[in-house]
């Protein structure tokens, strides 16, 4: 992993694991792939290869990973769909790292994304002096992936304007990108494909046209099936982030991680874990991603301003901020949850007091 880098790319951070898998991967590989589909799935789901432990990158149903990998081995593009925090971006990055050895070919979808991000642009200084030439053309990540036979990631596809989305149709159906200004075209090399992600809460923002949706195989990523699975995800990612940020090492703090996960799941599902009490749900997503952020911030507080042990007071501010996105309606939901649920749990007294102090 590069020295001093805040966040290494997946292929850098897990280079040793990828090398160990590749060294013992004797299964058939699709053209342009660095690993076989079986090896890619092993890298993502974890296991052991000739004594080298492979850490799970995706905690969940193995079949979901297998379907995603199998899709990319065909001429169909892959759309990872799910609510925020279901590891869509994380999974797409690791798929690209394992299959192409490069996860950096990326188009970030926003309301301001222009068509040049999908097709190509121009170096205008050269364009003015030389006219349209190959040297004046600036390739997009999609074009580079086509010429190099790699995967390209398109994040938040539904955030892009519809006309920009539709620039992908010819690429996905014909596997070519016309360049009318040069009277030529780029043809995709074997190994090229597209992994797109979309938030299913964004329906109605810029919905995919039926023509574009037909060119994707959609895999829906669910929220963690149960609390223990979610605790494992949060604990694993918090540990990795702590190392990357060089936070002081603390005791695991599993009790507080479990508390954060419990609160988020109950508020998400609108009912307490024992099924006895209905609660209102806030506008916030409260996904594992937010839980990871809350716990990581709590660890920083405990390390730098506490006694070195993650305690309720260290997570109270973070969890309150995560829940209260709307200062009016969400505050009411949070206060009712504290009084009706948290206050009644005897072993949560410290957490209740800390949250009341933060909430005012």
pLDDT above 80 (res 200): no
Query: What are the pLDDT digits (tens) for 237-286?
Result: 888 888 777 777 777 688 999 999 999 999 999 999 999 999 999 998 89
Average pLDDT over residues 182-211: 87
**Residue count (the chain):** 360
Alpha-carbon gap, residue 131 to 134, rounded angstroms: 10
What is 80-101 written as a DSSP string?
EEESTTSSHHHHHHHHHHHHHS
| Three-state SS at 119 | coil
Residue written as token pair 């999908």:
118
What's the pTM?
Answer: 0.88
Full DSSP string of 186-230: EEPPTT-EEEEEEEGGGTTSSPPPHHHHTTEEEEEPPPPSSHHHH
d(CA 319, CA 317): 6
Determine the 3-state secondary structure of 271 from DSSP: strand
CA distances from 223 to 88, 91, 92, 191 (A): 11, 14, 16, 30
Residue 360's pLDDT band (cuts 50, 70, 90): low
Look at strands 176-179 and 184-187 and give their pairing.
antiparallel
Please count the CA atoms within 13 angstroms of the CA of 49 that sit on its side-chain side.
Answer: 23
| Angle at CA of residue 201, ends 200 and 204, nearest 5° | 95
Token pair recorded at residue 244: 């990357």
Tens of pLDDT along 289-347?
A: 899 999 999 999 998 998 888 999 999 999 999 999 999 999 999 999 999 999 999 89
Contact call for residues 105 and 10 (beta carbons, < 8 A): no
Q: Give the span between the Cα atoms of 227 and 222, in whole angstroms.
A: 13
Q: In which region does residue 133 sit, left (phi positive, over 0), alpha (psi from -120 to 50) or beta (all else)?
A: beta
* Burial readout 216-251 (b: 16 or more C-beta within 10 A, e: otherwise): beebebebbeeeeebbbbbbebbeebbeeeebeebe
SS3 label, residue 107: strand
pLDDT at 247: 79
- What are the backbone angles phi and psi of residue 124, rounded to the nearest 5°? -70, -25
Stretch 59-81: mean pLDDT: 94
How does pLDDT run across 162-193, given as a tens digit for each residue?
999 999 999 999 999 999 999 999 999 999 99
Q: Following CA atoms 14, 19, 20, 23 in sequence, which dihedral angle do they give, to the nearest 10 degrees?
A: 160
Check residue 43 and give its pLDDT: 97
Query: How far apart are the C-alpha atoms of 133 and 123, rounded to whole Å?
Result: 10
Question: Percent of the chain beyond pLDDT 90?
Answer: 75
């Amino acid at each position: 992993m590069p020295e001093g880098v805040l966040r290494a790319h997946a292929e850098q951070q897990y280079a040793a694991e990828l090398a160990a898998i590749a060294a013992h991967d004797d299964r058939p590989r699709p053209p342009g792939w660095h690993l076989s589909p079986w090896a890619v799935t092993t890298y993502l789901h974890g296991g052991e290869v000739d004594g080298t432990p492979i850490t799970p990158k995706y905690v969940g149903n193995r079949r979901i990973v297998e379907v995603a990998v199998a899709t990319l081995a065909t001429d169909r593009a892959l759309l990872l769909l799910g609510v925020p925090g279901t590891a869509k971006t994380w999974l797409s990055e690791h798929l690209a790292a394992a299959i192409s050895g490069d996860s950096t070919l990326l188009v970030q979808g926003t309301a301001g994304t222009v068509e040049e991000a999908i097709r190509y642009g121009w170096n205008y200084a050269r364009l003015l002096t030389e006219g349209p030439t190959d040297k004046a053309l600036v390739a997009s990540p999609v074009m580079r992936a086509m010429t190099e036979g790699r995967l390209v990631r398109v994040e938040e596809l539904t955030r892009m304007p519809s006309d920009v989305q539709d620039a992908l149709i010819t690429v996905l159906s014909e596997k070519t990108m016309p360049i009318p200004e040069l009277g030529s075209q780029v043809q995709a090399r074997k190994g090229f494909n597209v992994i797109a992600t979309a938030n299913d809460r964004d329906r109605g923002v810029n919905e995919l046209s039926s023509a574009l949706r037909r060119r994707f195989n959609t895999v829906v990523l669910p929220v963690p099936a149960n609390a223990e699975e979610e605790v494992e995800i949060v604990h694993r990612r918090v540990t990795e982030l702590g190392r990357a940020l060089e936070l002081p090492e603390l005791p695991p703090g599993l009790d507080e991680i479990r508390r954060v996960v419990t609160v988020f799941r109950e508020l998400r599902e609108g009912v307490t874990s024992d099924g006895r009490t209905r609660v209102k749900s806030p506008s916030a997503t409260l996904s594992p991603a937010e839980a990871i952020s809350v716990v990581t911030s709590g660890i920083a507080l405990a390390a730098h301003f506490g006694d070195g042990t993650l305690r309720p007071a260290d997570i109270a501010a973070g969890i309150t901020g995560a829940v209260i996105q709307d200062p009016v309606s969400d505050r009411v939901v949070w206060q009712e949850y504290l009084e009706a649920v948290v206050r009644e749990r005897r072993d949560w007294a410290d957490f209740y007091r800390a949250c009341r102090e933060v909430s005012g």
